[in-house]
Homo-oligomer: A and B are copies of this chain.
Amino acid sequence: MKLMYSPTSPYVRKAMVLAIERGLDRKIEKVAMTASPITENKALDKVNPLAKVPALELDNGMTLFDSPVICEYLDSKHRGDKVFPASGARRWKALRQQAIGDGILDAALLARYEGFMRPENLRWPDWAAGQKRKFTQALDLLEKEVKDLSGGLTIGHITIACALGYLDFRFGDMGWRTGRPKLAAWYDKFARRKSMQATIPPT
């Protein structure tokens, strides 16, 4: 299978962390793709009309996106412990955590497009502030719920770790660890995993 890939995309990182954790990375051919909300990339559009990475092309030609779908598909392709719990309270907890992590990322990327990509004279401070409020509130919730990040590895843990790694990568100045010591301690331990070390975005 072929993964439409960018080394700086935190959503791609989710898929790669899962793949490395469960020994699937050798089965994945990475295809480098530039994804931008502004500039057309016809090669990427052919695989994903929404023009985003990751997108996964299966050997039978089927294409999958977005990252939650790709991650659940990858999780069906190994025989180890599943990172998507099959059912019940454990599943809802993991999917809710994935939604928190993806929600932090969605808001952080919109704030970044506003503050870096958009021409300076067209920026709207209220928009950037609204997105920042979303991911700040989500971080505060994670600090309160940090005990829910213990136990066997789930897609919730992976997504939240990729989200925090993205904040370090693109929002280093905001100091997300300040006032959130438990979340910081959890992340700093999680980030030592081989899968996280192997997927650190290039500076």
Contact = CB atoms under 8 A, between A and B. Distances in A.
A186 interface: no
Interface stretch (A11-19, A118-126, A187-195): A118-126
B96 A137 contact: no
B137 A99 contact: no
Given A38-B130, A131-B37, A92 B107 contact: no
Nearest to A37: B130
A51 B95 contact: no
A64 interface: yes
A50 B138 contact: yes
For A62, A102, A124, A134, the residue with the greatest tally of chain B CB atoms inside 10 Å of its CB is: A124
A115 interface: no
A141 B95 contact: no
A29 interface: no
Interface string A36-55: 11111000010001111000
Contact of A40 (B68, B76, B133): B133
Interface residues of A, number: 48
Nearest to A121: B122
A127 B37 contact: yes
B107 A118 contact: no
Interface of A: 36-40, 45, 49-52, 62-66, 68-69, 72-73, 76, 87, 92-93, 95-96, 98-100, 102-103, 106-107, 113, 118-119, 122-124, 126-127, 130-131, 133-134, 137-138, 140-141
Given A36-B130, A51-B134, A119-B124, 7 more contacts: A49-B140, A50-B106, A50-B138, A64-B92, A69-B92, A113-B127, A118-B127
